[in-house]
Amino acid sequence: MSSPNIHRLGDHQNYQASSPPAASSYFSSFRQQMSDYVRRLPLISITLPSTLFAVFLLSCFLPLIPGLDGLDLPILLGLWPRRIIQNKEIWRIFSYPWVHANLPHVLFNILALTPLIQSFERSNGTLKTLWLFLILPYTLFPAVLYLGAAYGLLPVLIDSVVVGASGWFFSMLVWQSYRVPHFSVFGFFQVSSHLYPLFLLLILSILIPSSSFWGHVAGWAVGHLHGYGALGWCIPRGYYFERIEGWSLLERQIVHSSRWVKAEVDGGLWLPVSADGTGPGVGGSASYGSAFGQSLLGNPSGPPGHAPSAFPGHGQRLGDTL
């Protein structure tokens, strides 16, 4: 009987086994996708998250400087009702979204907020996004509601310091719920778009008990006011933003930037409201958000892209008040 050929482990074999793709190829592909995603972000959508992270780094390194070892930016800039009312530290009303308690806090807010801001900025323009987040509705009004709760129904909040951009996230998420019928919960099942923010409120309060539930509720309430149209009085119409974009200095230096979304041209997602043949055509937005944004929000009922239409009537830009 002939003995079989025996090969020691590691000897060369005359066959080829299929090897799985190298992990480096996945990393390279992911890095390329993220690079493309960041490169396409509009101006506010890239500037605001970058600033949030820069302020967090500043809050980490400032105490290391001799003489500043006692400086705590979240305490200095956070929404502290007692200090605002008694010490007249009014800056806290506008500074609290920019500071965060720790690294997971700021990273979660950046990842959750960026696709929402991008979707809004692409359909409403850069100036309107700047006004909404940095100047009035989404910063001032949640702070006012929180102060009212602290000195009204919930005095326990008087010495509770609120920090972070989670209020912006809930305001924008609720506003978005008025424009899509449902959201997908991690791809497993779908819920009503109006119930989804409440679902997140409860989940966050359970998983992160230290999070500011009432601060999130204030942002949630302002989002409903915006979606319902109750904030139209403090949000200028697109016409005024278009006039500002026409200022010579702004137009020469910024408006023609590839990241700038104009109030009427690039952000021209219009809804037809009449068909008398006297109004302009319906503009088309280049895209609805992004794949990253849709994975968070669920798939909207409309298509991912909107082609220009020949509709001859008047149009109302999505986000403007009728």
Per-residue pLDDT of the chain (322 residues; tens, 9 = 90+): 555 554 444 444 454 555 555 667 777 777 888 888 888 888 899 999 999 999 999 999 988 888 777 788 999 999 999 999 999 999 999 999 999 999 999 999 999 999 999 988 888 888 888 888 877 789 999 999 999 999 988 888 999 999 999 999 999 999 988 888 887 776 777 888 888 899 889 988 898 888 889 999 999 999 999 988 888 888 888 778 888 877 766 666 676 677 888 875 444 443 433 334 333 333 333 333 333 333 334 434 443 334 344 444 444 444 444 4
Residue 216 among the catalytic residues: yes
Distance of alpha carbon 8 from alpha carbon 43, whole angstroms: 62
Domain residue limits, the chain: 41-234, 238-317
Cβ atoms of 256 and 167 closer than 8 Å = no
Angle (deg, nearest 10), helices 196-207 and 213-228: 170
Joined together, the tokens standing for residue 99 give: 């500071």
DSSP code, position 22: P
pLDDT computed for residue 250 by the predictor: 66
Q: Which of 100, 105, 182, 216 is catalytic?
A: 216
pLDDT computed for residue 125 by the predictor: 87
Superfamily in which the 41-234 domain is placed by CATH? Rhomboid-like (1.20.1540.10)
pLDDT computed for residue 297 by the predictor: 40
Burial class of residue 222 in the structure, from the number of CB atoms within 10 Å of its CB (0-12 exposed, 13-18 middle, 19+ buried): buried
Helix-, strand-, coil-residue percentages of the chain, each rounded to 5? 55, 5, 40
Phi, psi of 5 (to 5 degrees): -75, 125
Q: Which of 59, 95, 123, 166 is catalytic?
A: 166
pLDDT computed for residue 86 by the predictor: 92
**What ranges in 72-135 are assigned the alpha helix state H?**
73-77, 81-86, 92-95, 103-124, 126-130
